[in-house]
Chains A and B, each alone.
Chain A
């Protein structure tokens, strides 16, 4: 801990969230700086790579739509592989954003203010990326609207007892509400940007800010509406990954048919999402010089959540394994022994070492506060969580009931292309967001700044006495 950081402690010894010597105007100037100057070389390099990956993704999807899903390594009995793995992975990534913005808001965790905007953006882009996978997996994405109940000439309705239909509702609701929540948070910041800019930029930000003036009458509605959206998002985020887990849990396949799935999936989603937030923020604060806003204290808090959720995930692995052995069900028992010792054992052990063992370094404060360590661990967790879904999906499918059905799944070049492409697509949107939108909520940080000033004794603790005319 540097001398500068030790000074930033309040009366109870907790670190201040922001340097109390900053002014309100500093916040606007520093948060708006990356938007107002031309992007640096580093940004162009990252953006260029992401764009290339996205282009090859688009090419792969086009080719796959022309040729059919057969170009992937999918075949009987492994009918779901990289595509559904990536779908579950990306939906899971999104969950941290909503957790940070909604659940931490309800629990009045003030440290969320510096990171909620970028985490919410991450949610939206992750859900966008996730949404592509079931669409291309159908093989005939031009009929995707059949999933939506609409009056049609066949007089048919969707089957509301099917988890795949639940998924459509859950994911589209999640996307819509996340955008509503994000945009609500952005309105006051767009107004700040409008009042800083001139010319055509001012025109754009004026329209985006919808004419927001910061009137107290409006703030009154705004704060309550924001609270309501947070309240709705909280059960929503828990429901979305529960419903995703129902895709598996309601089937009769051993390894999928378990009641532990909803909480296990939600914990895993938060775990992987926080790891992704750490990955992104370590880069973001460096590239855009946001170290004073996204402090070591913020990153340390997130690493603590990674440690906790990582152990919840580890506990779930242990529980499902134990129950499988204890159940006395031969198929159930076999599936789990096959996971840990069968042809896909490598995937299982990647999952265990990345998700259960790697985060254990966060028991130590030194490692929780080391950028290098947290960056590596966050990448490992992302890898581990991708393989968790791969393990659940592919190893359960590849050896089911009758040995004559058994087979091994080998990805083709096109499978690799969609995985890599989805990362490119996600990062492309995120980089564009960093370039054009305020990555930190200015209005919320100012509130925290005032509290920091009070805690540090920079301003009187109570409002000044009334001065009578």
Chain B
């Protein structure tokens, strides 16, 4: 790893349990939630369906951004077309009306898609706090073939390190590690 200042990870503390299948982590996630652990996160190589429900993670708000920005983009496009064609410098083109709504549809639609799409990507980055090069990589195989359940220190009112380790060891984890910075 290049030792650039912005790539230097910030320390984290907690317990990481590694699994080798998505089903194992689903079962384990439900178990730790049942035992009162909160703010638990999972690191998986691909989105495992059912995991956010098991960990009590709220649904994403990104689609609202797409809706609002898509509509605003379209409105902006149409307003701009009307303003430039009919108010700022009205020019009679082929005797068509100044506000030629049917002819304005393509640009109206495209500007909605353009703003909606780019803002969706922007919203995704904001929602995930990316780019962020300071979160440590807990295990290199988490983007490969390992599914990690991470209980950050003080994960909920029921936090008890000994108990957390015991609970995770009782699942079919391939490895349970205590992470300290």
User: Which of A's residues lie within 8 Å of B, judged by CB?
Assistant: 23-25, 28, 149, 155-163, 165-166, 169-170, 172-173, 176-177, 180-181, 183-184, 187-188, 191-192, 194-196, 200, 202-203, 206-207, 210-225, 227-229, 231-233, 235-236, 239, 243, 246, 442-444, 446-447, 450, 459-460, 462-469
Query: Given A169-B110, A218-B128, do A225 and B123 touch, yes or no (CB 8 Å)?
Result: yes
Chain B residues closer than 8 Å to A216, beta-carbon distance? 41-44, 47-48, 51-52, 55, 57
CB pair B52 A220 closer than 8 Å: yes
Question: Which of A28, A173, A221 is in CB contact (< 8 Å) with B144?
Answer: A28
B74 to chain A, nearest CB (A): 12
CB pair B144 A25 closer than 8 Å: yes
CB pair A447 B47 closer than 8 Å: yes
Mask, B71-102, CB within 8 Å of A = 1, is: 00000000011001100110101101000100
Mask, B123-143, CB within 8 Å of A = 1, is: 111011011111101101111
Q: How far, in whole Å, are A466 and B32 apart by their CA atoms in the complex?
A: 11
Chain B residues closer than 8 Å to A446, beta-carbon distance? 45-46
Chain A residues closer than 8 Å to B57, beta-carbon distance? 216-217, 220
CB pair B106 A228 closer than 8 Å: no
CB pair B24 A464 closer than 8 Å: yes
Q: How far, in whole Å, are A23 and B45 apart by their CA atoms in the complex?
A: 13
CB pair A173 B114 closer than 8 Å: yes
CB pair B44 A157 closer than 8 Å: no
CB pair B133 A225 closer than 8 Å: no
CB pair B144 A195 closer than 8 Å: yes
A89 to chain B, nearest CB (A): 21
Chain A residues closer than 8 Å to B131, beta-carbon distance? 207, 210-211
Residue of B nearest to A460 (CB): B23
User: At the interface, is chain B mostly helix, strand, loop or mixed?
Assistant: helix
Kindly count the residue-residue contacts between A and B in the assembled complex, taking CB atoms under 8 Å apart.
249
Q: How far, in whole Å, are A255 and B163 apart by their CA atoms in the complex?
A: 78
B104 to chain A, nearest CB (A): 6
List of 8 A-B pairs having minimum Cβ-Cβ separation, nearest first: A24-B145, A157-B84, A210-B131, A166-B106, A225-B124, A463-B23, A216-B42, A219-B47
CB pair B109 A160 closer than 8 Å: no
B53 to chain A, nearest CB (A): 10
Query: Given A169-B110, A210-B125, A446-B45, do A149 and B84 touch, yes or no (CB 8 Å)?
Result: yes
Query: Given A169-B110, A170-B110, do A213 and B89 touch, yes or no (CB 8 Å)?
Result: no
Query: Given A192-B144, A213-B142, A221-B127, do A443 and B45 touch, yes or no (CB 8 Å)?
Result: yes
Residue of B nearest to A224 (CB): B60
Which B25-41 residues have C-beta < 8 A from chain A? 26-27, 30-31, 34-35, 41
Q: How far, in whole Å, are A207 and B130 apart by their CA atoms in the complex?
A: 11
Chain A residues closer than 8 Å to B127, beta-carbon distance? 218, 221, 225
CB pair A215 B43 closer than 8 Å: yes
CB pair B170 A469 closer than 8 Å: yes
Residue of B nearest to A242 (CB): B106
Residue in A159, A442, A462, A465 whose Cβ sees the most chain B Cβ within 10 Å: A159
